[in-house]
Amino acid sequence: MLPAPGPEPVVRLRQVTKRFAGGIEALAGLDLIVGPGELLALLGPSGCGKSTALRLMAGLAAPTTGSVERRLPDPHAVGFVFQEPTLMPWATVERNVALPLKLLGLPRPEIRRRVGERLERLGLGGFARAYPRQLSGGMRMRVSIARALAVRPRLLLLDEPFAALDEITRWRLNDELLDLWRSESLAIVFVTHSVYESAYLATRIAVLSARPGRIVGEIAVDAPVPRGPEYRGSEAYLRTCRAVSARLAEALGEGGGP
Amino acid sequence: MRRFLANVLPPAAVVALALAAWEAVVRLRHIPEYLLPGPLRIAAALRDDWPLLYPSLLQTLAVTGEALLAAAVLGGGLAVLLIQAKWIERSLFPFAVILQVTPLVAIAPLLLIWVKDVRFALVLCAFLVAFFPVAANTTLGLQSADHHLLDLMRLYGASRWKVLRYIRLPSALPYFLGGLRISGGLALIGAVVAEFVAGTGGAASGLAYRILEAGYTLAIPRMFAALALLAGSGVLLYALLSGVSYLVLRRWHESAVRREASSASPAG
């Protein structure tokens, strides 16, 4: 199904708080809606509960109070990309990508077909039999993304996926992510602490306050996708960066910072 | 080939020098062979007493091997059981520790009284010292699985069995093999200690009994020959287990991956 422009959200967080066993309050009164086909950036200072929000959306954690609603054709139509590539070091690239499909019990030929397709799509065609340690950081992250996409998710969650990569690799993967997003009709939520990354990638940016996190501002980014390298130098991009930076500074100020 | 020589020649030369020095000291100081025989005398004893020593060597190795196999299977199995729930670990692990810290020589006599079949009692003794490293290491390995990978398993609703099979067992494999390497030597020691305590005569007597017997009859060169066989077996066992570990892990684990000065990896 094509992403409906209608208001039916993929994920809705209502007044979510999350308190951990140690008494740390990660989120306080978080309201957030992720629409279908949206590319939402969760931007905030370190330790503001961004990752916690992402885990709640994935169903990997339950909110202390409030509710998390997900509307997906299939509860497993979710992809998650962690900060680290998180691959099985003992398995080849193709077996890493096949893991979620095996868990969902797909027939073997279908698994092979989908894995091949995903590897091609992410430029990993020649590395199906390689082991993760033989790959560079950027390639490993590609494998991780291929694995997340193998289940044909309607919702893709990324937790600072490119933070550990060098600038050039990060930019290239940013473009590839935009490319995927355009062709796959899926909603993407990605967590970042980079103003520039969020301004380049997102269609909407939600700015979180320092811990306990809640949304302190939302900025829509209208620039059309694809956004080539020239977009990084455009007036629209710089304007977005300035607006986002200002919000972020406010958020930090509110959190009791300097 | 050159690298092989560079790796093998220096240690071989050092061993040869040490043996030569030993031989020289024994000869120059006229040390009687019932106190300390030289390496040549020991080699002669090894050759002359081979018909006596060889069956004993096989006996000791069989006990060691069976104990090690049991330690691998039961130690690994216990580890899988322990990680199923915290309360299981808390209630069972103390038993494993108690068995581990109780000296084998202290319980071997009891075991030999309780168990009628002496051969089985020997294996049991060797097993008791060999099994702890496997169990403890494997438990650690099963618990060290990447928690993000475990998250991923949860995301796709994987059953406990699938988590074990796809993530926990492979994560634990290097730990298990490391434990097994320690257990190999311990199983041999356990077998020897048990044989000493049992002191069984007749056909079913291992190298430890040969050492005891040689001590009683002051056949000191034969005693050293038996000792050399034991030490050699221990070294071989360790090398064998290290080889297995290397073969199993060479594709992915840091411990087994060969590194070059500058590793070539495809750019991303």
In terms of DSSP bridges, do strands A155-159 and A78-81 run parallel, antiparallel, or are they unpaired? parallel
- Is A163 a residue whose pLDDT tops 70? yes
CA B30/CA B33 separation, integer angstroms: 9
Q: Which percentage of chain A shows pLDDT scores above 90?
A: 43
Domain borders along chain A are 1-73+155-258, 85-153
| The CATH number of the domain covering residues in A1-73+155-258 | 3.40.50.300
For the cut 50, the answer to whether the pLDDT of residue B268 exceeds it is: no
Pick the range with the lowest mean pLDDT from A49-53, A81-85, A253-257, B14-18. Answer: A253-257
Across chain A, mean pLDDT equals 87
CA distance A140 to B220: 62
- pLDDT tens figures, B92-127: 889 888 888 888 888 888 888 898 888 899 999 999
Please check whether residue A43 is in contact with residue A206, taking contact to mean a CB–CB distance below 8 angstroms. yes
pLDDT band at A2 (very low <50, low <70, confident <90, very high): very low
Pairwise CA distance, residues B206 & A23, whole Å: 62
Q: How far off is chain B from A143, nearest CA to CA, in Å?
A: 11
CA-CA distance, B232 to B223, in Å (whole number)?
Answer: 14
The pLDDT of residue A254? 58
Buried b (16+ CB within 10 A) or exposed e, A118-152: bbebbebeebeebbbebbebbbbbbbbbbbbbbbe
Q: What is the pLDDT of residues A50-100, one digit of tens each?
A: 889 999 999 999 999 999 999 888 888 999 999 999 999 999 999 999 999
Query: What is the ipTM, given to two decimal places?
Result: 0.88
Residue A46: predicted pLDDT: 78
Spell out which residues of chain A touch residue B155, defining contact as CB-CB under 8 Å.
Answer: 58-60, 76, 78, 80, 100
List of residues 6+ apart from B28 with CB closer than 8 A: none
* Angstrom distances, CA of residue A169 to CA of A59, A229, B124, B138: 30, 13, 58, 38
User: A138 vs B153: CB contact, 8 Å cut-off?
Assistant: no
Shortest distance, CA B133 to any CA of chain A (angstroms): 23
CB-CB under 8 Å, B155 with A138: no
Query: Comparing C-alpha atoms, which of B75, B106, B108, B109 is closest to residue B92?
Result: B75
Q: Do B265 and A140 touch (CB under 8 A)?
A: no
Q: How confident is the model at residue A257 (pLDDT cuts 50, 70, 90)?
A: very low
**What is the mean pLDDT of the segment spanning B257-264?**
56
pLDDT tens figures, B47-104: 999 999 999 999 999 999 999 999 999 999 999 999 999 999 999 889 888 888 888 8
What would the mean pLDDT of B258-262 be, rounded to a whole number? 56
Domains of chain B in start order, with CATH, are 52-217+230-249 (1.10.3720.10)
Residue A140 pLDDT greater than 70, yes or no: yes
Helix (H) or strand (E) holding A233: none
Provide the β-strand partners of residue A205.
Answer: A41, A219
- Percentage of chain B exceeding pLDDT 90: 71
Dist. CA A110–CA B157, nearest whole Å: 19
Q: What per-residue confidence (pLDDT) applies to B267?
A: 43
Q: What is the pLDDT of residue B200?
A: 58
**Count of beta carbons in the 10 Å neighbourhood of residue A244:** 22
Q: What's the pLDDT score for residue A12?
A: 92
Q: What is the DSSP letter of B167?
A: I
Partners of residue A84 in chain B, C-beta under 8 Å: 148
* Residue A102 confidence (pLDDT) above 90: yes
A98 vs B contacts (CB less than 8 Å): none
Q: Label residue B264 by pLDDT band (50, 70, 90).
A: very low
Q: What CA–CA distance (Å, rounded) separates A208 from B138?
A: 42
- By the 8 A CB rule, do B208 and B118 touch? no
**Cα nearest neighbour of B151 on chain A:** A60
A134 touching B, CB under 8 A?
yes
The predicted pLDDT at position B202 comes to 52
In chain B, which residues touch A (CB < 8 A)? Answer: 146, 148-149, 151-158, 162, 166-167, 170, 173, 251-254, 257, 265-268
- Residue owning tokens 């091997």: B65
Q: Note whether B166 contacts A139, CB cutoff 8 Å.
A: no
The pLDDT score that the predictor gives to residue A250 is 81
Q: What is the pTM of this model?
A: 0.87
Rounded to whole angstroms, the Cα distance separating B69 from B71 reads 5
Distance from CA of A54 to the nearest CA of B (A): 12
Q: If DSSP codes are grouped into helix, strand and coil, which group holds residue A153?
A: coil
A64 touches chain B (CB under 8 A): no
Could you tell me if A90 lies within 8 Å of chain B, comparing CB atoms?
yes
Query: A249 or B260, which is more confident?
Result: A249
Measured CA to CA, the distance from residue A81 to residue B212 in angstroms comes to: 64
pLDDT at A219: 87
pLDDT(B263) > 70: no
Interface size between A and B, measured as CB pairs under 8 A: 74
Average pLDDT, stretch A19-44? 88
pLDDT at A192 over 50: yes
Q: How confident is the model at residue A222 (pLDDT cuts 50, 70, 90)?
A: confident
Q: Kindly indicate the confidence band of residue B1, based on its pLDDT and cuts at 50, 70 and 90.
A: confident
CB contacts, 8 Å: A78 with chain B: 155
CB contact under 8 A, B156 and A100: yes
A49 versus B202: the higher-pLDDT residue is A49
pLDDT score for A1: 42
Q: What is the pLDDT of residue B2?
A: 78
